């Protein structure tokens, strides 16, 4: 099996797994202790959580605090609902965790369109009365890198807060400059599933979504999992250490893969892009058939989120693709642990299987 779905989730780093194990240990070692208990094993667990918090914070700008959540989806819900906005502006290509939460907030929602390259204009007009602007750093379906620093400045000039979904960029790119709220997910940066974080700029007050024991400074009640937090911290530390090496590896993989797809069209900008995302379309391609012909390749139809629903992806539609073109798109995602020969082999097989369809 060759894994090519790095935007859906990433392999757990062996270093993150090792760091987690003591916090999953049995009765004697007491790694299972509650990090909110005042006894010695509880304090040891709390110290491990705080170290992890610092490691995650090191991926983020200074001048804020990290609140652990159960996922980036939860972090985005906390950011959007917690600031009680009356008018929100979002990009048309945000993840459902932003689009659906904005809708559910009851606020008036405005959208920034993207151009044919999948980019929001850096000088997009922000409607009067907007109190929250949300634009992602790197799109999960097409990999485009948005001009978030300029948009954060524009949001502030309009009197709004700026929320950045940095799930696909964290640990790979510099943190989004100027953001007030930043959402992250451990499993997209080689950490475990089941833990995310919201970074909150100092001075910003949010209302909690989850009430109870008052953990996480009252913002997110519920007992933290030291194992998950520690795995997130270890993965964040590793990402920071390996950032240049990982980026160089991905750049090399991109060149090897892109060259194999002569006659296919790239979805989204080739330059303003995280190059571990190769989203392509080929007119007439039957993606379901392609995937069933290549069952030992784990790649995705256009978007993992949209692929199960049968609906064409809202991101590909926002680029201007017709429903048919969107449905003949595939996403190949690769990264740190992808070997160049397995990627080249997978790409050659995809191209051959598409040619066998006569497209
Ligand atoms: N935002 C983006 C851009 C994503 O790619 C994802 C996951 O697919 C999420 C948010 C949600 O992350 P989580 O799985 O941690 O809820």
pLDDT tens-place string over residues 88-100: 999 999 999 999 9
Mutate which of 95, 99, 308 for ligand 1? The one with the most ligand atoms within 8 Å of its CB, which is: 95
Ligand 1 lined by 72 (C-beta under 6 Å): yes
CA of 281 to the centre of ligand 1 (A): 23
Name the pTM for this structure. 0.97
pLDDT at 103: 98
The backbone torsions φ and ψ at residue 64, rounded to the nearest 5 degrees and listed phi first, read: -155, 180
Q: Give the torsion through C-alpha atoms of 259, 263, 269, 271, to 10 deg.
A: 30
Model confidence band, residue 202 (pLDDT cutoffs 50, 70, 90): very high
Residue with tokens 């048919």: 324
Q: DSSP 3-state assignment of 273?
A: strand
CA of 167 to the centre of ligand 1 (A): 6
Model confidence band, residue 156 (pLDDT cutoffs 50, 70, 90): very high
C-alpha–C-alpha distance, residues 243 and 259, integer Å: 25
Q: Which of 83, 164, 229, 305 is catalytic?
A: 305
- Ligand 1: atom nearest CA of 168 is 3
Q: Within 10 A of 223 (CB to CB), how many other CB atoms are there?
A: 12
Helix (H) or strand (E) holding 45: helix 40-57
- What is the residue with the minimal CA distance to atom 7 of ligand 1? 8
Ligand 1 lined by 130 (C-beta under 6 Å): no
The backbone torsions φ and ψ at residue 300, rounded to the nearest 5 degrees and listed phi first, read: -130, 155
Count Cβ atoms within 10 A of the Cβ of residue 346 and give its class: 0-12 exposed, 13-18 middle, 19 or more buried. buried
Count Cβ atoms within 10 A of the Cβ of residue 49 and give its class: 0-12 exposed, 13-18 middle, 19 or more buried. buried
Share of the chain above pLDDT 90, in %: 93
Q: DSSP 3-state assignment of 300?
A: strand
Q: Within 10 A of 149 (CB to CB), how many other CB atoms are there?
A: 16
Longest dimension (CA), the chain: 68
**pLDDT at residue 243 greater than cutoff 80:** yes
Asked: is 2-8+243-356 a CATH 3.90.1150.10 domain? The reply is: yes
Ligand 1 lined by 93 (C-beta under 6 Å): no
Domain ranges of the chain: 2-8+243-356
276-312 pLDDT per residue, tens: 999 999 999 999 999 999 999 999 997 445 556 667 8
DSSP code, position 97? H
Q: What is the mean pLDDT of residues 103-130?
A: 97
Q: DSSP 3-state assignment of 114?
A: strand
**pLDDT at residue 240 greater than cutoff 70:** yes
pLDDT at 97: 98
CA of 59 to the centre of ligand 1 (A): 17
Cβ pair 236, 175 in contact under 8 A = no
Helical axes 340-356 vs 226-258, angle rounded to 10°: 60
Ligand 1 lined by 335 (C-beta under 6 Å): no
Cβ pair 142, 117 in contact under 8 A = no
The yes-or-no answer on residue 305 being catalytic is: yes
CA of 345 to the centre of ligand 1 (A): 29
CA of 229 to the centre of ligand 1 (A): 17
Mutate which of 10, 71, 97, 305 for ligand 1? The one with the most ligand atoms within 8 Å of its CB, which is: 97
CA of 159 to the centre of ligand 1 (A): 27
Mutate which of 73, 145, 146, 308 for ligand 1? The one with the most ligand atoms within 8 Å of its CB, which is: 73
pLDDT at 350: 98
pLDDT at 318: 96
Model confidence band, residue 347 (pLDDT cutoffs 50, 70, 90): very high
Q: DSSP 3-state assignment of 47?
A: helix
7-55 pLDDT per residue, tens: 999 999 999 999 999 999 878 888 999 999 999 999 999 999 999 999 9
Ligand 1 lined by 167 (C-beta under 6 Å): yes
């Amino acid at each position: 099996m060759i894994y090519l779905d790095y935007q859906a989730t990433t392999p757990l780093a062996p270093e993150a797994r090792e760091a987690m194990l003591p916090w999953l240990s049995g009765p004697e070692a007491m790694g299972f202790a509650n990090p909110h208990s005042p006894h010695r094993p509880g304090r040891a667990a709390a110290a491990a959580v705080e170290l992890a918090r610092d490691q995650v914070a090191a991926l983020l700008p200074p001048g804020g605090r990290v609140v652990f959540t159960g996922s980036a989806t939860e972090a985005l819900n906390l950011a959007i609902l917690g600031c009680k906005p009356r008018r929100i502006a979002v990009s048309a290509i945000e993840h459902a965790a932003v689009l659906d939460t904005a809708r559910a907030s009851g606020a008036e929602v405005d959208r920034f369109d993207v151009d044919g390259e999948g980019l929001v204009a850096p000088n997009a007009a922000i409607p009067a009365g907007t109190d929250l602007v949300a634009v992602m750093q790197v799109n999960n379906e097409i990999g485009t890198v948005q001009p978030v620093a300029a948009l954060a400045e524009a949001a502030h000039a309009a009197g709004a807060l700026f929320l950045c979904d940095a799930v696909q960029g964290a640990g790979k790119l510099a943190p989004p400059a100027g953001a007030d709220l930043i959402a992250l997910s451990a499993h997209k940066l080689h950490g475990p599933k089941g833990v995310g974080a919201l970074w909150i700029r100092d001075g910003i007050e949010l209302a909690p979504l989850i009430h109870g024991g008052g953990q996480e400074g009252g913002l997110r009640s519920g007992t933290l999992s030291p194992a998950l937090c520690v795995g997130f911290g270890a993965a964040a530390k590793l990402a920071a250490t390996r950032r240049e090496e990982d980026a160089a590896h991905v750049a090399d993989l991109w060149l090897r893969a892109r060259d194999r797809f002569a006659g296919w069209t790239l979805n989204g900008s080739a330059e303003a892009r995280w190059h571990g995302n190769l989203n392509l379309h080929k007119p007439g391609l039957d993606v379901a058939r392609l995937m069933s012909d290549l069952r030992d390749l784990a790649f995705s139809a256009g978007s993992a989120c949209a692929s199960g629903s049968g609906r064409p992806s809202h991101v590909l539609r926002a680029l201007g693709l017709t429903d048919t073109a969107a449905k003949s798109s595939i996403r190949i995602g690769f990264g740190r642990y992808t070997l160049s020969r397995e990627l080249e082999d997978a790409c050659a097989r995809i191209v051959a299987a598409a040619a066998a369809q006569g497209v």
